[in-house]
Structures are given as structure tokens and as C-alpha cells.
Structure 1
């Protein structure tokens, strides 16, 4: 039993390390101009994503947000195709057409993310409805931020899931800001979880920097959903270290010493200390960190050496039949 517990604990640490090191590398190469477009990083919120996804089965569904790298990694996605997608390469998880904010990996149940705030909620609810109609015991987990709870799609999704008792877990990663707007300036309630009462839905608030606490709380919601009890709203109190989008300059936001305060409760630092308290050797933890660094470096090398999509592929996976590229536009 102890070995199994330790294996699970080490897997949580491994996934959090994958996210942190992937994000650090992505931020560095974005600053160097290798990644086109905006980049929204997940550093600081690792325990929220990993804890939640560890409560799922591989065949359960998950929908992420525009802060999208952390969620598929938390669900167990491989790093090579994710990094290749950020660089717009043909070997990317979406063949280089999605980029940083549009990642999906059906092999681990990750249905994808989009850049539209709140847009994943109807997708997650639809996946849950499909599971119920097919008599499957799968559940659907939907990540979103505090800002998304002011979107109509969020309220519609919550209402429909509650009325039809769908197997969906609504997970609000409340990091305190919607772009640069503090949550307290846009929400009339102190906690997003209070809003569940309007839909006769159970809710919970959990420390989003504690991966074990998140897993325990989400596991309760998963069990409820899987056994026909309907949806649950779980709010994790967490924090993103970087600005809304990195390397783009501050967007009317001065957080003062807030970041330093939250870094004192860094989820990786906290969990490393907990692993040591549980008797896990420092050397084993160090090995996971080194192995993860090698894995991220391998993913970057793979992405850099991969080809870009061909021009003729522009409409593939968009329309049923491939459209010809007009002659005057062809290279």
C-alpha cells in the first residue's frame, strides 16, 4: 500500500514539474521569437490542474482554457506534440494549426481549449450529455477562470447540467484576476462557489496550491458524477505568477508584492517538502526533476527539427474535402 501511495505522490510531483519546466522553456523561446502569437502560462497553478486530473480516469473527458499548456500535461499528454504545436509544426498535436491556446489530445481525453473565455463550458457539458445518453460511466471535467463565471455560457452550462443531472465537474481556477481585472471588482460574491446555490448544485472551496487537497475534493465530485448524482462546482484558490500573457508588457496591472507572497506557497516547493516528510528520498525527487528537464529538452529539439505544415494542408481538418489552393496564392 505504501509503495502505491508513494508512486501516486511521485506521479503528481512529476506532472507538476512537467508543467513548470515546460512553461519556463516556452516563455524563454517565446521571448526569443520562436513561438508566434500570445503565450499564456500556467506557472503557479500546477497543483490545481494536476490534483484535479489525478482524480480522473484516462477515458474521462477534460476541457481546458486559453491558459492551455498545463491542462493537457496534467491529464498525461506527451510533451513532444505539445511543444511542436506551440512552434506551429506539422507534428504538433493539432498539426501546427492551433498554437498555444488551442491544444487537444483525444488520447488522454483532452477535448481541447480555445482562446474564447468560457467557450469550453458548453463543450464539457455536451460531452457529459453524450456520456449519459450512451450509458457510459465517464465524467467530464471543465476548467475555467473566475472571469468566465460572468459569461452567459457559464450560467447556461451550469443550469443545463443541473437540470439534467449531467456527470460534469465545473472547476473554477480562481487566480484572482480576469486579465487585469481583480475578481472582487467583477464578482458580487466573495467566492465563486456561492453561485452554485442558484442551480441547487453542491460546491466546495479548496486550497489550489495543495495538490493532495485538490485531488481529494475533485475525487468526491467525480464519484458523485459517475454514480448519477449530477454536477459539482469546485473552486480552487490559486495564483498565476506571470502576467495575463507573457512577454507582452503589463496590461494596466501592478500587483505589488503579491507575487512574492504567493511564491512562498509555491505548489512544487510545498509538495517536495511533503514528499520528504513522507520518507521519500531526496535523490529520487532530484532524479524526477532531472528526467523532466531532459524530457522538456527532448520535446523542444523534436519541435525545432519538425517541418512546418504544407500550404496544401491549410483546409485539412476544417472541411470534409480538401480545397485547392488558388494558383496565384501557391508558392
Structure 2
């Protein structure tokens, strides 16, 4: 079922500012007409508006009668915050790629560049106490769940300042209400259903977002998880981040049906243009409300794109052309589109955008420096956290010669 959300004549932006008799109050400001925002940017209110309303992109529905909101109202604070978050993830991933090329990061490394609107938009649509579990392309989500840039980059370089003290690496990052980062294709999906079951069993008013890629969409365990989640009506938001390619295989070559939002059958689904952060936010709000109301699970397909290869070992050019990637960068880049949106609507000024860029660059550069030079974890601590409340000298079979310093 496809619903055209807005007619062409209504695709305009509504502005609310001091020059309009709107019911929207202006943000507090000091006598100089300037204010320091939550993003750390000093703003001049003489040329900006308080908020603006934008049309969302077209949704496609499966087993649903009512779509998410056709419009999304964005405040000035949120505009700068979302821009800062997406830019931070983009620059952080670029830094990670460079550190890998310098052989400072080793092992697996899956970059999130191009998909920033997914995690930023979804995080804006849920609460901090809701749960998230994802696959191995986890850096962006790790940052959005509260881990600072240093915690991500230092984890990649194996330093003690990493969020898992350097022991997890790219695919195994965790923090409160964020369950990873999982290295086995599709394995996080039934775990997500289990977390949602626990929330319902314990009587909590929470939801769980369980993310997977289009490459994992054909896994048998996905359909088992759908069945159990619907059987018990658990508050699970299953999310397929469809970036077009599972490793080096396009979705058209891998799936008989590429309408992933319909794959849940008895689980309702929504197709979302995930290159637009506000469209993602509204779809996530809708899905979270659906789950919290006790209706059971729901499925979102986020149509997005990854600029890098599947991992750092994949140049990403043998199964798609450079022109294809460049066209997306020039016409559909989520950060570029959002930047244009908030500038043309006067939610932010060019100077504010430059200030955010400068702040992000400084934060990432500082994190890179520490990620190069912070110490690695001590050898005797390498096997800590294998068990809960593990005794200091608890023997671990096969590892004791290492932890005790005895040569193999």
C-alpha cells in the first residue's frame, strides 16, 4: 500500500518567527540578542527563526491504515543538534578509515558513512531508556547511544580508553541500553526480540530497536524472531537498514522480493526514505507509539546508502560504479540535504554551520590523537569480564599461561 503524503502544491516549508503572529514562542535570549545553544554555538537571532515545518518523504505501508506524520516540525536547537551529530559520525568514520589505512586499526572495520540519518533520526524518536541492538556496522549507533568519539576510536585502536577497554573492537561496542555491535550476521535479531520480551515481562514502558541489514534479511532466524515477537506481541521495532548491498551482492541479485518492509507478513511494516533525518524521526516516533500501545512488533525498512565498501578490505568498486556512489553523494547525501534545509529555512546561519564544523573537527582530531597514544590494556586484565563478578585469579582454561605470564 503506497500513500502519497502531500500534493505538490503543499510541498512548502512553513516558517514561524518573530515577524509572524504565530503561537510559537521565541527561544530565550539575552539582551545582546545572542545565545549559546546546546550544540555549543553562539547564535545571532536577528536572522533566524524559532522553528520550521517540513513535509516528510513518501511512506509505503504494509498492514497499516494510518501512516506516520506527513509533516515534521523542527526546532532551531534540534536543527543544530542533528547536524552536529551527523557531521560527527561522518568525520569520525573518515578518521577511522584513515587510521585503518595507517595500520593503527587492524581487524574488522565497517564504516557507517552515508547512513547517518538512520541512527540520528531513530535516536530522536525514542527515549534514552529504550534498548537498541544492531549488527557489526555499529560505530554510529555507539556514538548516538552516548559513547563519546574517543570511546569509539580508542576501541578501534585497542586502547584502554575505548568503550570496551579495547577488547571489543569495531563489532563489539556497548553502553547502557545498547547491546552492541554483533559480529554474526543476523544473530542480533532474536536477541532483540528477547530484550523486548523482557521489557514486556517486567512491565516496562519501553521498546527495543533491533537492526539488521538487507544482507541479513534472508536469514531464517529473522523469520523465527518475527513469529515469536508477534505471537507474544512484544514491543520490538525491527529495522532493516537497506543500503543496497549485502557485502558485494546487490539486493536485486539476493532477494526475490526487495520490499523488505513487507517481509514480516503478519508484522506491519513501513518503507522509509532514510536519507531524510526528519522522515526517519517521524517514522520512529510512530513505531515507538505503536509498540508502547501494546499492539506488538512493527517493521521499518530504512532505504539508505553506504559510501564505503562492506568493510575496509572491500574497495566497494567491483560491484558498483564510482559514478553511482558520486551521484548519491551529490544528490542524496543526508547531511548535505539537511544542511540545505536548515539554511534555506533560516533555522541556522552559515556562520553557525561553520562553528559546528569547527567544533566537530576539533573533537574528532583530539580523539584521534589520544586513540594513537593512550595505553593498551594490561595483559593480566585481558581476560577480565568473561564472567560476572569474576574473581581476580579465577582460572580460565586455555588462557592461564597467558594471564600468569608463563610462556606458551
Q: Under a length normalisation based on structure 2, what TM-score does the superposition of the two structures give?
A: 0.77
- What does residue 172 of structure 1 align with? 240
- What does residue 289 of structure 1 align with? 357
Structure 2 residue runs without a partner (length 5+): 1-23, 25-49, 52-73
Report which of the two structures shows the higher radius of gyration computed on alpha carbons.
Answer: 2
CA-based RMSD: 1.7
- What does residue 253 of structure 1 align with? 319
Answer yes or no: is 1:244 the counterpart of 2:313: no
How much does 1:193 deviate?
0.9
Q: Distance in 1 between matches of 2:181 and 2:407?
A: 30
Is the 2:146–2:175 Cα contact (8 Å) retained in structure 1? Answer: no
Is the 1:52–1:215 Cα contact (8 Å) retained in structure 2? Answer: yes
Answer yes or no: is 1:46 the counterpart of 2:116: yes
Is the 1:61–1:139 Cα contact (8 Å) retained in structure 2? Answer: yes
Higher relative contact order (CA 8 A, sep 6+): 1
Alignment of 1:22-41 (within 5 A): 22-41=92-111
Alignment of 1:36-115 (within 5 A): 36-106=106-176, 109-115=177-183
Q: Distance in 2 between matches of 1:97 and 1:55?
A: 31
User: Structure 1 49/327 Cα, relative in aligned 2: closer, same or farther at 3 Å?
Assistant: closer
Q: Distance in 1 between matches of 2:223 and 2:235?
A: 17
Is the 2:262–2:268 Cα contact (8 Å) retained in structure 1? Answer: no
Give secondary structure in 2 for the equivalent of 1:111: coil
Q: How many residues get paired?
A: 326
How much does 1:74 deviate?
2.8
Point out the more displaced range, 251-260 or 59-68: 251-260
Is the 1:54–1:75 Cα contact (8 Å) retained in structure 2? Answer: no
Alignment of 1:71-220 (within 5 A): 71-106=141-176, 109-197=177-265, 200-220=266-286
- What does residue 16 of structure 2 align with? none
Give secondary structure in 2 for the equivalent of 1:142: strand
Structure 1 residue runs without a partner (length 5+): none
- What does residue 373 of structure 2 align with? 305
Q: Under a length normalisation based on structure 1, what TM-score does the superposition of the two structures give?
A: 0.94
How much does 1:253 deviate?
2.3
Structure 1 moving runs of 4+ over 6 Å = none
Is the 1:193–1:205 Cα contact (8 Å) retained in structure 2? Answer: yes
User: Structure 1 250/207 Cα, relative in aligned 2: closer, same or farther at 3 Å?
Assistant: closer
Q: Distance in 1 between matches of 2:336 and 2:247?
A: 26
Answer yes or no: is 1:266 the counterpart of 2:333: yes
